[in-house]
């Protein structure tokens, strides 16, 4: 019925062609109008300044067709740290808060935890004392909360937590503690042909369940730390069971190894906020082909009012060596207080 009202195919195609032509003409007019430049600021949450300018300039240079600085789209790879770079990380890494929430939930099934460290202190709310047990204590927490289940079950736990849990001091959902200015950077890079990767010390299976929705980064572009898994046929169906054994730590030198093993290509841009990102930033900014621009950026947490203020002496997100190297090498350092008009995701 509807079909009989349409023009014959050839005419229809002609109409569509003309429509395309008009649409293109319209785009051309918008793009050449002087107003367009103002409306289309790709980084509206960034105040004008050196940081914003250097980032935009870099993107312009690598996308300038015909210029010696042009980089083919396939090689436009950008690597982002997560904790403290894409979302907040205080008073402790959010993944640890996930583990603590989980321990509280599991405590009723484990009465023995009341007398056993690190669980006893955790359940009393004394995180510092619990973690005084050092790496061993941390590992015990991770193993109890992250292992002994299938990968599918763990994914469900993370999804449930991320959609319901609240941050202890801001009382906001964790996904609202993502930095708006960095979301704009991710979008601007992708809009210019970049592939954006997360390269984080956090657990890869802790980030993947929500990174696509929150950051627009698909699971295959998330690189992180991991524990070992084991293939098992359960009820005739294959599954992967998470084992209480570390597999890979994606931090410091590990970030370079993780990048090489997952991407197999050197990023031309890297974004971090701590000494754990130093090697990744070195990797992105050296040994590039002649004339090829590269870019390194550090988020400096200078805003004690809207976020947290910390750097050289911080336990979480310590920024000391990398800050010195940024000065020496001319990397871009973001002064969160001065450079960001908005901090959290809007």
When asked if residue 200 is in the footprint of a second copy (CB under 8 A), the reply is no
- Per the CB < 8 A criterion, the answer to whether 165 and 174 are in contact is yes
When asked if residue 300 is in the footprint of a second copy (CB under 8 A), the reply is no
Task: Tell me how far, at minimum, the Cβ of 42 lies from a second copy, in Å.
Answer: 22
Q: Which of residues 134-163 bind a second copy (CB under 8 A)?
A: 151-152
- The contact pattern for a second copy, residues 52-81, with x = CB under 8 A and - = no contact, is ----------------------x--x----
When asked if residue 95 is in the footprint of a second copy (CB under 8 A), the reply is no
Task: Tell me how far, at minimum, the Cβ of 299 lies from a second copy, in Å.
Answer: 22
Q: Write the DSSP assignment of 280-331 as a string of letters.
A: HHHHHHSSPPTT---EEEEEE-B-TTTS-B--TT-SSS--SHHHHHHHHHT-
When asked if residue 246 is in the footprint of a second copy (CB under 8 A), the reply is no
Measuring CA to CA, how many Å separate 192 from each of 45, 214, 335? Answer: 19, 20, 25
With both helix axes pointing from N to C terminus, report the angle between 321-329 and 278-285 in degrees, rounded to the nearest 10. Answer: 20
| Identified binder of a second copy from the candidate list 257, 292, 320, 345, rule CB under 8 A | 257
When asked if residue 288 is in the footprint of a second copy (CB under 8 A), the reply is no
- Facing residues of 231 across strands? 240
- Per the CB < 8 A criterion, the answer to whether 273 and 181 are in contact is no
When asked if residue 241 is in the footprint of a second copy (CB under 8 A), the reply is no
Rounded CA-CA distance 183/95 in Å is 20
Q: Which is nearer to a second copy, 232 or 291 (CB)?
A: 232
Q: Which of residues 11-40 bind a second copy (CB under 8 A)?
A: 13-14, 16-18, 20-21, 24-25, 28-29, 32
Q: Write the DSSP assignment of 36-100 as a string of letters.
A: HHHHT-S-TTBPSSHHHHHHHHHHHHHT-TTSTT---GGG-EEEE--BTTTB---SS-HHHHHHH
Q: Which is nearer to a second copy, 137 or 280 (CB)?
A: 280
Q: How many residues bind a second copy (CB under 8 A)?
A: 51
When asked if residue 328 is in the footprint of a second copy (CB under 8 A), the reply is no
Q: Which is nearer to a second copy, 27 or 132 (CB)?
A: 27
When asked if residue 89 is in the footprint of a second copy (CB under 8 A), the reply is no
CA torsion sign, 201 to 204 to 205 to 206? positive
Residue with tokens 């503690």: 177
Task: Report residue 193: phi and psi, to 5°.
Answer: 85, 5
Q: Which is nearer to a second copy, 90 or 229 (CB)?
A: 229
CB atoms within 10 A of CB 256: 19
Chain positions contacting a second copy, by CB under 8 A: 9-10, 13-14, 16-18, 20-21, 24-25, 28-29, 32, 74, 77, 151-152, 195, 204-205, 208, 212, 218-222, 226, 229-231, 237-240, 247, 253, 256-257, 260-265, 279, 282-283, 286-287
């Amino acid at each position: 019925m509807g079909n009989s009202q349409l023009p014959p195919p050839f005419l229809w195609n002609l109409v569509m062609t003309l429509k395309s032509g008009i649409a293109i003409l319209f785009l051309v007019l918008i793009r050449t109008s002087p107003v367009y430049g103002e409306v289309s600021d790709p980084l509206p949450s960034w105040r004008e300044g050196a940081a914003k300018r250097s980032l935009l300039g870099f993107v312009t240079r690598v996308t300038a067709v015909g210029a010696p600085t042009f980089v083919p789209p396939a090689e436009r790879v950008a690597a982002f740290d997560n904790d403290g770079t894409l979302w907040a990380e205080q008073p402790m890494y959010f993944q640890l808060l996930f583990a603590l929430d989980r321990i509280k939930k599991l405590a009723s099934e484990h009465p023995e935890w009341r007398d056993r460290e690190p669980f006893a202190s955790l359940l009393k709310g004394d995180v510092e004392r619990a973690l005084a047990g050092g790496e061993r204590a941390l590992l015990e927490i991770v193993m109890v909360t992250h292992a002994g289940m299938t990968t599918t079950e763990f994914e469900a736990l993370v999804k449930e937590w991320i959609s319901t849990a609240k941050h202890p001091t801001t009382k906001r959902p964790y996904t609202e503690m993502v930095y708006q200015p960095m979301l704009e950077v991710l979008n601007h890079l992708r809009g210019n042909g970049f592939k954006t990767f997360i390269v984080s010390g956090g657990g890869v299976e802790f980030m993947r369940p929500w990174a696509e929705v929150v950051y627009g980064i698909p699971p295959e572009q998330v690189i992180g730390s991991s524990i070992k898994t084991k293939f098992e046929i359960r009820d005739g169906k294959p599954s992967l069971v998470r084992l209480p054994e570390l597999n890979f730590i994606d931090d410091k030198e590990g970030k370079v190894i993780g990048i090489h093993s997952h991407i197999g290509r050197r990023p031309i841009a890297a974004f971090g906020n701590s000494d754990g990102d130093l090697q990744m930033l070195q990797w992105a900014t050296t040994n590039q082909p002649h004339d090829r621009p590269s870019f390194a950026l550090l988020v400096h947490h200078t805003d004690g009012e809207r976020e947290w203020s910390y750097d050289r002496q911080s336990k979480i997100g310590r920024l000391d060596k990398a800050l010195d190297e940024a000065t020496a090498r001319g990397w871009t350092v973001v002064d969160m207080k001065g450079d960001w008009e908005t901090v959290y995701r809007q």
